[in-house]
A and B are shown apart, each in its own frame.
Chain A
Amino acid sequence: MPSMLTYISRRLLFSIPVILVASFLLFWMVRSTFDPCVKLRASKDVEAVARCETRLHLNDPIPMQYLGWANDAVHGDLGQSSRTNEEVSAMVPRALWYTVQLIFWGVLISAFAAVALGVYSALKQYSVLDYTFTGASFVGLAMPPFWFGLIAIELLAIMPKQWLGLDEPLFYFVGLHSGAEKGFGADYARHLVLPVMTLTVQIIASWSRFQRSSMLDVMSADYVRTARAKGVPRRDVVVHHALRNALVPLVTVMALDIGALFGGLIITETIFSIPGMGQLFVRSLQAGDAEVLVVWTVVTAGFIVVFNLLADVLYGVMDPRVRVT
């Protein structure tokens, strides 16, 4: 499929200027808001302040500062946190790994649940279960995640522990591992349940509504009627003809939503004390940690661009009509 390759490489080329412009704007905004040498200034050590200013090119115009920063970044030097004195290049990947785990499980579960619920609701439109799912998704969308998270902790962790007289709660609600535990075993699963649930409730609610309406659209499409007129068994009509088409818009929405999740789990991570990207952002913002904030914003923007690209590519893969343009 040479057309597919051209399509993908063209999309890839388009995203390079986007990420360059975005990183410059973000760098500019963070630099104009926070002074990366503010701590040294408080110490009144003039020489140290001067060293800091030279290192970060603070006396140059913003474009020159950006070029200096970008040059360092390309060579692996992302700067140092003024809050913890740690290398930013170590902090961000560590936080990212926590967030990636949450997103991976959350998205996996949400995708399957949303498609199943959406398809069922569309095929049994106006049935009791359809109304139930509709009501549940409105509740899911309307409920703030911090409220849902707290309720979930109370109902699923604390209260069962008291009733059953357990030493440990069934599901943990601090971090992703307890103590020295590692790996992806039972301890990990018991930590994941509540934060992932908090994350999925809203995602499932919105994706399943989307899947329902997209499925309803295609079920009344002419080509579905054609398939039935050919004598295709109902199951195959639903899966092979209807769902295959209904997934096209959903996959696009999913890709865009996932891209936005990388910076957006602030509330879930805070409730469950998970040191992911959201928590890193809040802490860095509170401390005015300029060097971390620059990298954080650029990385999050990068994910948005990458997942937009992915949405475009998947759209092209799934719908042959798009590849032409």
Chain B
Amino acid sequence: MSETVSAAEPMLEVSELTVDFPTDDGLLHAVNHVTFGIARGETVGIVGESGSGKSVMSMAIMGLLPKSARVTGSVKFRGQELLGASERDFERIRGSEIAMVFQDALASLNPVHTVGAQVAEAVAIHQELKGSELRNAAIELLDVVGIANPSARFEQYPHEFSGGMRQRAMIAMAIANDPAVLIADEPTTALDVTIQAQVLEVLERIQERTSTSIMLITHDLGVVAGVADSVMVMYAGSQVERGSVEDIFYESRHPYTKGLLASLPRMDRRMNKSDRLHQIEGQPPSLVFLPTGCAFHPRCAFAETPGACDGEVPALRVVGDGHYSACHFADRIGSEEGAMS
């Protein structure tokens, strides 16, 4: 099936995806009109702070949102519409075609079943394997993700694993059926830097092996710079900028992205003790009471208020080849390099 899909054709196509949750105060706009695609073998980094809608978006793609969520737009996997698909269809796709790796591996693994049983379950749901064949398949998966002594580890419970090993076990479950798309939701957030690198390396190795498309959700720009092909930056449920890694890191056309980049500690710039890292002033907005116009304008150094910034929601527009920005002044942002610091 996958052979018929050419590399340029998106494996996963999300367009105008919007997710609202009814709350006592009104609708909470978790995701607003997000559009993007992931090609076969591509890694898309999705960046944004907590509450920017990254995780909700991935849950919407997997059909895992609670019933109260109002989801509109379109999510197409290999051209097949997923939104509104039946639970039965979703069960067939989940874990076999689109798989997911979650952030907190300790909480995400069932404490009362052995790691081996949980990996084997992921295999058994979608493949006709039983008994020792199933066991061997699970042990091989543990081996693939770099768990030493996999047949002994098979019998152990999640609490007997270290943090990095648990995340590897999560990845083993996710890749059990060679999924076409792997959604990794902050897979390295709770890990040491060295373990982070190892886990990312496992993801890259798997991608090389099976040309899996990876949607990497993170708030760590360093991780994105290391592994992603393209990047989407989200703020308050909307995408504010999208482009290649080079576009985003070197020629950002959105003040929020620029703010994020400026707040990174830099190895190549000497800092004095009195120097402070850049910070984006203010707080992320309430998703129930979004600011008028551009959601970022109250925190934006470039905002012209009253004017376009608080009057009109900026549309995502082309600012370069495959580079999009949702800023009214995207053209000006690129040239004002010094203004950030």
Residues of A within 8 A of B (CB): 221-223, 225-234, 241, 244-245, 248, 318-321, 324
Contact = CB atoms under 8 A, between A and B. Distances in A.
B286 interface: no
A234 B64 CA distance: 12
B110 A223 contact: yes
B111 A245 contact: yes
Given A229-B99, A230-B125, A223 B94 contact: no
B328 to A, nearest CB: 38
Q: Which of B99, B108, B112, B159 is packed against the most chain A CB atoms within 10 Å?
A: B112
Contact of A244 (B102, B112, B159, B173): B112
B77 to A, nearest CB: 14
B125 A318 contact: no
B92 interface: yes
Contacts of B109: 223, 226
B188 interface: no
Nearest to A247: B112
Interface string B86-105: 01001111111001101010
B220 interface: no
Contact of B108 (A222, A232, A324): A222
Given A222-B104, A231-B95, A245 B121 contact: no
Contacts of A225: 64, 102, 108
B111 A231 contact: no
Interface residues of B, number: 30
A319 B110 CA distance: 11
A225 B63 CA distance: 11
Nearest to B97: A231
A276 to B, nearest CB: 37
B173 A230 contact: yes
B99 A234 contact: no
A248 to B, nearest CB: 7
A226 B102 contact: yes
7 contacts: A222-B108, A225-B64, A231-B91, A241-B110, A241-B113, A244-B110, A318-B112
Given A226-B102, A231-B126, A321 B95 contact: no
